[in-house]
Structure 1
């Protein structure tokens, strides 16, 4: 329970900091989205090899200004993404809302945020259909399916 509280506190502080760094109507580019991911939204199919909890859809949307946003399955989140023309990808300054969640959904959401924080690269599986986030050791952390526009 203490670990979850600390995790939520860190995410909340990151959200407050990232919100304080922008102004309304600000269109400044703050991150760098790899071109194949610009304006795309993805839904988690598998998080750290444990599948997903039914009814708790985690999502990841890439915005042209370098921001990411979505749902961890219970709480909304936002942050910054950095990537290059190759396969490098990392997420920074992630912050989320602080709603209380069911225990199973809470665990899934923790794994989702842990996977985002550990991501160092990406690859496509069945190009255009699945996005796989990869950790520093080359292991897959999460697989997502592209949401139809």
Structure 2
């Protein structure tokens, strides 16, 4: 009887650890709310450049990276946020806009956590905001 109970407990523990869907790190955000990125790596985004982030559905992020539109997957792995490679359009814009876009892409790739403080969305790397957005 004891062996059956131990086996049952072990089986239940194993099943509890198996979830088909990983939690959505942006679950607290309303779907389709557009966040305007105001800062990338400590540098303000120029007013004439529109960088946005939205959460159109579970596991997906999308928006404008300054010149081009992008979308990609977002998930958690081992308690850390993971943003997959972003797909996007391939237009060219003035050099200053392309510089902002490059900064956005290189910094969003480093994100390992998401935090909301008041009306600000913070995308973090090791606890430090690398992208800040407002809605």
Shorter-normalised TM-score: what interval?
Answer: 0.7 to 0.9
2:116 paired residue among 99, 103, 124: 124
SS of 2:48's equivalent?
coil
Deviation at 1:116, TM superposition (A): 1.1
Q: Distance in 1 between matches of 2:44 and 2:61?
A: 22
Using structure 1 for the length normalisation, give the TM-score: 0.67
Return 5+ residue gaps in structure 1 as ranges. 1-28
Deviation at 1:124, TM superposition (A): 1.6
Aligned pair count reads 113
Is the contact made by 2:22 and 2:76 (CA closer than 8 Å) also made in structure 1? no
Cα RMSD of the aligned pairs, angstroms, is 2.2
Return the structure number with greater helix share: 1
Q: Distance in 2 between matches of 1:38 and 1:117?
A: 23
Q: Distance in 1 between matches of 2:36 and 2:23?
A: 21
Q: Distance in 1 between matches of 2:59 and 2:22?
A: 5
Moved over 2 A (4+): 29-34
Residue 31 to residue 103, structure 1, CA distance change in 2 (3 Å): farther
SS of 1:58's equivalent?
strand
1:42 paired residue among 35, 42, 45: 35
Using structure 2 for the length normalisation, give the TM-score: 0.74
Q: Whose radius of gyration is greater, 1 or 2?
A: 2
What residue is the counterpart of 1:106 in the other structure?
A: 98
Deviation at 1:118, TM superposition (A): 0.5
Is the contact made by 1:31 and 1:80 (CA closer than 8 Å) also made in structure 2? no
1:142 aligns with 2:131: yes
Deviation at 1:100, TM superposition (A): 0.7
